[in-house]
C-alpha cells in the first residue's frame, strides 16, 4: 500500500467521530460559540422562571441552536446544535419532546430524558447529567413539506406543512394530510403544489375540529409568500379547525397560535404584538421590541419570543422599529400584560418556538457554556434513556 493511500484511509477512519456530528448529521458541527449563548437578564426573569417550575425549550432557527432555559438550582442555558430547528412539541404521555429541523429534507427529532448510564467495563465512571434530553430517534420528510409548527392533538403528533398548505398527522414516521383550509381545496383534495398562504402555526385543541391555525394569507393570490412584494399588512388570519374558514382577520404575519384556558392566543409578528383572537378580532395584550414569534404558558405567565428582522424581510414588519428589534424571551403577566423580566441574546437572531416543560421532567440539554463536546463520547457511548429496559 502506498503512503498516500495509507494516509487517505487513516484520514477516513478519523472522520465522523464526534457524537454531535452523528446527532445532527452535520460533519463540521462545532460547540456553540460563547457569543451565541451569552444572555442578559432584565427584571425578575430568573425568579419568574424558577417560580413557574418549568424548563423552557427555545429554538433559534437561523443559528441552528436548540436551547433549554432552567433556573431550578442556578440560572442555566444549555443547548444542542441542529440544522435550522423550528417547531417544538412536548408529548408528556409519551415521555418525549419533538423538534422539527427544517432543511432539505426536513427531519423530525424525538428526545427523551437520560435515566443513567449502562454498566460498561470499557468506560470510566463519570457524572452523567441525569434527565438531560438526548435524541431517541429521527425520521425524514420531503424538503417541500417546509415544516414549521408541531403540536400533539388527540395523542398524535401533527405538523403544519407550510410548503403544502396542509396539516400532517405523523405516526410511525409516516405523514398524511388531515386538515387544510377550504380555500386551498380542489375537487375534494388540498392544493399542495406550492406554498400559497404560509400556513404556519397550530393552536392545538382536543381534536382537529377544536383546533385553530394561523396563516399569512386567506387564499391563493398573484404573489406567493417569500416574494418581496407579497402583501402582508392586515392580511393574516386565524382559521377554525371545524369550519376550515377564517374566524379572525386583520393580522400581519401571525405566528405561534396557542389555545390557553379556552382562548386563542397568537403573536402578531409584523407589529411585535401578542394577544387574544376572539369574537372576530384581535385584542392586543402587550407589544414587545421585535418580531414576536414563540409563545408558551406556565401558570399566569406567557413566555413570548422576539426576533430581529432579517433585512430582506423588512417589508414584512410594517409595525416595527426594525433597527431596535431584539432577540430574546420575555415573561409577560397575563393579568395585566406587564413584562416581568426578559432574557436577551445580544448576538441572537431568530427565535421560532418556545415550549415550557416541567423542570422536574428535564433540566435541559447536556451541553452548556461550561461543557463542550468533550462530554459527548462517553455519554453517547453508554447512555440509558427513561423507559429503556436494557
The CATH number given to whatever domain includes residue 261 is: 2.120.10.30
What are the strands of the beta sheet with 339-344, ordered from one edge? Answer: 40-43, 339-344, 328-333, 301-307, 291-298
DSSP letter, residue 330: E
The number of domains in the chain is 1
Q: Which three cell numbers stand for residue 126?
A: 463519570
Report the C-alpha gap between 52 and 50 in whole angstroms.
Answer: 5
Domain of residue 335 covers: 37-385
Question: What does pTM read for this prediction?
Answer: 0.95
Residue 17 lies in a domain: no
* Per-residue confidence band for 345, with pLDDT thresholds at 50, 70 and 90: very high
What is the pLDDT at residue 99?
Answer: 98
Distance of CA 296 to the CA centre of its chain: 11
Supply the Cα-derived Rg of the chain in whole angstroms.
21
Say if 56 falls within a structural domain. Answer: yes
pLDDT, tens digit, 9 for 90 and up, residues 193-249: 999 999 999 999 999 999 999 999 999 999 999 888 999 999 999 999 999 999 999
User: Among candidates 140, 89, 88, 94, which has minimal Cα distance to 113?
Assistant: 94
pLDDT tier at 298 (50, 70, 90 boundaries)? very high
Let me know if residue 19 belongs to a domain: no
* 389, pLDDT greater than 80: no
Question: How many CB atoms are located within 10 Å of the residue 304 CB?
Answer: 29
Four-residue CA torsion sign, 112, 152, 248, 336: negative
At 321 the three-state DSSP class reads coil
Report yes or no on 10 lying in a domain: no
Amino acid at each position: 500500500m502506498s503512503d498516500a493511500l495509507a494516509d487517505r484511509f487513516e484520514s477516513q477512519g478519523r472522520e465522523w467521530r464526534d457524537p454531535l456530528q452523528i446527532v445532527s448529521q452535520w460533519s463540521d458541527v462545532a460547540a456553540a460559540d460563547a457569543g451565541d449563548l451569552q444572555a442578559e437578564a432584565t427584571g425578575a426573569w430568573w425568579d419568574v422562571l424558577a417560580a413557574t417550575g418549568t424548563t423552557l425549550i427555545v429554538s433559534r432557527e437561523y443559528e441552528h441552536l436548540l436551547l433549554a432555559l432552567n433556573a431550578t438550582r442556578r440560572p442555566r442555558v444549555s443547548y444542542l446544535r441542529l440544522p435550522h430547528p423550528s417547531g417544538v412539541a412536548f408529548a408528556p404521555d409519551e415521555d418525549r419532546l419533538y423538534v422539527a429541523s427544517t432543511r432539505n429534507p426536513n427531519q423530525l427529532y424525538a428526545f427523551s430524558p437520560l435515566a443513567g448510564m449502562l454498566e460498561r467495563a470499557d468506560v470510566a465512571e463519570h457524572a452523567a447529567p441525569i434527565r438531560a434530553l438526548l435524541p431517541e430517534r429521527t425520521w425524514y420528510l420531503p424538503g417541500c413539506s417546509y415544516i414549521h409548527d408541531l403540536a400533539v392533538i388527540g395523542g398524535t403528533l401533527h405538523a403544519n406543512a407550510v410548503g403544502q398548505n396542509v396539516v400532517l398527522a405523523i405516526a410511525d414516521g409516516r405523514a398524511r394530510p388531515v386538515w387544510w383550509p377550504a380555500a386551498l381545496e380542489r375537487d375534494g383534495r388540498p392544493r399542495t403544489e406550492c406554498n400559497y398562504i404560509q400556513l404556519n402555526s397550530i393552536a392545538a385543541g382536543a381534536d382537529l375540529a377544536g383546533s385553530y391555525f394561523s396563516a399569512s394569507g386567506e387564499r391563493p393570490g398573484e404573489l406567493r409568500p417569500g416574494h418581496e412584494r407579497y402583501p402582508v399588512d392586515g392580511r393574516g388570519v386565524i382559521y377554525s379547525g371545524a369550519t376550515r374558514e377564517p374566524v379572525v382577520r386583520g393580522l400581519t404575519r401571525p405566528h405561534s397560535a396557542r389555545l390557553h384556558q379556552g382562548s386563542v392566543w397568537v403573536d402578531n409578528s409584523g407589529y411585535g404584538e401578542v394577544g387574544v383572537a376572539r369574537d372576530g378580532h384581535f385584542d392586543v395584550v402587550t407589544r414587545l421590541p421585535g418580531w414576536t414569534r414563540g409563545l408558551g404558558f406556565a401558570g399566569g405567565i406567557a413566555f413570548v419570543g422576539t426576533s430581529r428582522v432579517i433585512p430582506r424581510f423588512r417589508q414584512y414588519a410594517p409595525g416595527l422599529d426594525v433597527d431596535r428589534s431584539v432577540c430574546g424571551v420575555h415573561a409577560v403577566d397575563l393579568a395585566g400584560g406587564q413584562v416581568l423580566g426578559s432574557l436577551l441574546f445580544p448576538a441572537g437572531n431568530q427565535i421560532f418556538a418556545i415550549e415550557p416543560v416541567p423542570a422536574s421532567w428535564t433540566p435541559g440539554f447536556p451541553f452548556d457554556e461550561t461543557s463542550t463536546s468533550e462530554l459527548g463520547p462517553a455519554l453517547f457511548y453508554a447512555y440509558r434513556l427513561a423507559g429503556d429496559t436494557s
